Amino acid sequence: MPTAVQATLKSRKSPVQARSTATVEAIFEATVQVLLQSGPERLTTIRVAARAGVSVGTLYQYYPNKQALLFAVLSRHLRLVVEALERACEEHQYRPVGEMIEGVVNAFVDAKLARQDISLALYRIAAGLGADALGADMRKRSTQALTALLRTASEISPSQAEFAAFMLWTTMAGATRAMLESGSPAGMVRRLRQHLVIMGRSYLMSPEIANRTT
Amino acid sequence: MPTAVQATLKSRKSPVQARSTATVEAIFEATVQVLLQSGPERLTTIRVAARAGVSVGTLYQYYPNKQALLFAVLSRHLRLVVEALERACEEHQYRPVGEMIEGVVNAFVDAKLARQDISLALYRIAAGLGADALGADMRKRSTQALTALLRTASEISPSQAEFAAFMLWTTMAGATRAMLESGSPAGMVRRLRQHLVIMGRSYLMSPEIANRTT
DNA sequence: ACCTGAACACCGTTCAAGT
DNA sequence: ACCTGAACACCGTTCAAGT
């Protein structure tokens, strides 16, 4: 179920000719480039259009407003991260909790770091309403995948799986964000991975979360 | 050492007469009101000035630009949260780790929830550059207070205190933010407190963080 | 010392006119 | 079917003129 905001921010018309498909892609790429080179403050519709080699009018034929441009970029980025997480969840089902956490943490951190520059630029924009709804969607998908994973862990009480998934996700997301925003020096990445694993594992194996009947 | 950004966003002139002190406060309060009632998108300088009962020109006499308005609000809010955290850290020195975590988590969640509406509105604005620098400052102060606290815990290896403080802070901040953004239903607040305590405690008492020589 | 508000620059968005 | 770009509305910011 797409939210109202998402509907508003979707592409205005679907391109039917090859020419316009190329135009849409050019505008999307131009948005990424302007975002990374000029920053969100100087990202104007005219600048994006110019970079894409079209006029403003053309831009507005495919994206209903400026927010939609950033929404498109944010959307793809978040989707890639969530999909990486979902894959990791699939792959680590029925494994020991320690392995699960390690697999999930590494997948998440890798995905965020893969486009570190985009991640950072996008953190500054979450402002727009679209981002709020989108972030909520992604959190939902992420916690669902994690819940499903935790349900296959023999060590964990099933009734705790859902909330534990929420805690794991916000921990990974929060810590990775803080690290990126503080410049993410090389050594810190390694340490962050380690400590996220330690924290997640010890949390899940704590008497309150772990399955007492097993 | 104040950052360049902060210098730019500080009040432009200090009021010397009683009249202007009142004006500055009126503008500040007007900013909070417009932010909460109209949202960040509709917060215009003219609207804030009108709400404060002054002209735009007057507003710009005390705040160098629109960002400075939001910066002032964000700044006070974050300061209150950090100070609450610092107080909790002071008060729980040399206690068992379980009590430390409980005290710190409750202080943090209480402070964020005390002005829940402002917290939420401000999350949407962190966009502005000022917020980035300010957020970094607050993270620094918070982790320093937490580091000092953890150094007084007999159970914890001193060499791990600093990074552990970073992990604790991002976990609390991330989880609280996610909860607020997802509407923070009544029951969830209680559960979040519990799980933050469980997570923090089990992390700090894990063999990797705990002092093996004690 | 403080305040006013018209004027300016710039940006998001539209739409009549083109190919 | 797609593109153009001048025109419009609106907002942030300034500054000469007021008290």
pLDDT in tens, A167-211: 999 999 999 999 998 888 889 999 999 999 999 999 999 999 998
Question: For strand D, is any atom closer than 7 Å to the CB of A19?
Answer: yes
Q: Does the pLDDT value for residue B83 go beyond 80?
A: yes
* Long-range contact pairs involving A25-28 (C-beta distance under 8 Å, separation at least 24): A26/A52, A26/A53, A26/A54, A27/A52, A27/A54, A27/A58, A27/A59, A27/A62, A27/A63, A27/A69, A28/A69, A28/A72, A28/A73
* CA-to-C1' span, A53 to D3 (A): 11
How many beta carbons lie within 10 A of that of residue B95, not counting itself?
16
Contact yes or no for B138/B78 (Cβ under 8 A): yes
**Helices (runs of H) and strands (runs of E) counted in chain A:** 10, 0
* Long-range contact pairs involving B48-53 (C-beta distance under 8 Å, separation at least 24): B52/B23, B52/B26, B52/B27, B53/B26
CA distance to B88, B130, B182, per residue, from B38 (Å)? 34, 22, 20
Q: Does the pLDDT value for residue B129 go beyond 60?
A: no
Q: What is the mean pLDDT of residues B7-13?
A: 63
Of A126, A181, A198, the CB nearest to B209: A198
Inspect the interface and report whether the beta carbons of B202 and A202 lie closer than 8 Å: yes
Of B41, B167, B194, the CB nearest to A175: B167
Contact yes or no for B61/B12 (Cβ under 8 A): yes
Query: How far A78 CA lies from chain B's nearest CA (Å)?
Result: 16
The residue among B180, B175, B211 whose CA lies nearest residue B192 is B175
Query: How far A15 CA lies from chain B's nearest CA (Å)?
Result: 31
CA B43 from centroid of its chain's CA atoms? 22
Low-confidence stretches of chain A (pLDDT beneath 50): 1-7, 214
pLDDT at site A2: 38
How far is Cα A61 from Cα A118, in angstroms, rounded to an integer?
25
What's the burial of A117, exposed, middle or buried (CB within 10 Å: 0-12/13-18/19+)? exposed
pLDDT level of residue B101 (50, 70, 90 thresholds): very high
Query: How far B125 CA lies from chain A's nearest CA (Å)?
Result: 5
pLDDT at site A6: 44
* CA-to-C1' span, A67 to C14 (A): 17
pLDDT at site A20: 79
Of B136, B171, B208, the CB nearest to A182: B136
- Its sign, for the CA torsion A88, A89, A91, A95, is positive
pLDDT level of residue B164 (50, 70, 90 thresholds): very high
Chain A CA closest to residue B192 = A167
DSSP one-letter code for B43: -
pLDDT at site B2: 38
Least confident interval from A62-66, A126-130, B119-123, B134-138: A126-130
Q: Which two tokens stand for residue B78?
A: 């974050």
Inspect the interface and report whether the beta carbons of B202 and A203 lie closer than 8 Å: yes
Q: Does the pLDDT value for residue B205 go beyond 50?
A: yes
pLDDT at site A16: 65
B203 near A CB under 8 A: yes
Chain B CA closest to residue A121 = B127
How many beta carbons lie within 10 A of that of residue A97, not counting itself?
21
Q: Which two tokens stand for residue B101?
A: 């975590």
Q: Does the pLDDT value for residue B4 go beyond 50?
A: no
* CA-to-C1' span, A57 to D2 (A): 11
How far is Cα A131 from Cα A138, in angstroms, rounded to an integer?
10
pLDDT at site A7: 46
* CA-to-C1' span, B64 to D19 (A): 23
In this complex, the residue with its CA at the shortest distance from the C1' of nucleotide C1 is B17
* CA-to-C1' span, A189 to D17 (A): 59
The residue among A73, A31, A23, A74 whose CA lies nearest residue A51 is A31
pLDDT level of residue B214 (50, 70, 90 thresholds): very low
Which residues does residue B210 pair with via DSSP β-bridges, in sequence order?
A: B156
* Long-range contact pairs involving B50-57 (C-beta distance under 8 Å, separation at least 24): B52/B23, B52/B26, B52/B27, B53/B26, B54/B23, B54/B26, B54/B27
How far is Cα B48 from Cα B75, in angstroms, rounded to an integer?
18
Cα angle: A13, vertex A17, A19; to 5 degrees: 100
DSSP one-letter code for A127: T
Question: For strand C, is any atom closer than 7 Å to the CB of A39?
Answer: no
Question: For strand C, is any atom closer than 7 Å to the CB of B58?
Answer: yes
Residue type, B45: T
**Helices (runs of H) and strands (runs of E) counted in chain B:** 10, 0
Chain C: bases < 7 Å from a protein Cβ: 1-7, 10-16
Q: What is the mean pLDDT of residues B39-56?
A: 96
Q: Which residues of B144-180 are buried (b: 16+ CB within 10 A; e: fewer)?
A: ebbbebbeebeebbeebbebbbbbbbbbbbbbbbbbb
Q: What percent of chain B has pLDDT over 90?
A: 76
What's the burial of A88, exposed, middle or buried (CB within 10 Å: 0-12/13-18/19+)? buried
pLDDT mean across residues, chain B: 90
Residues in B 66-85 whose C-beta is less than 7 A from nucleic strand D are 66-67
Q: Does the pLDDT value for residue B38 go beyond 80?
A: yes
Q: What is the mean pLDDT of residues B63-68?
A: 94
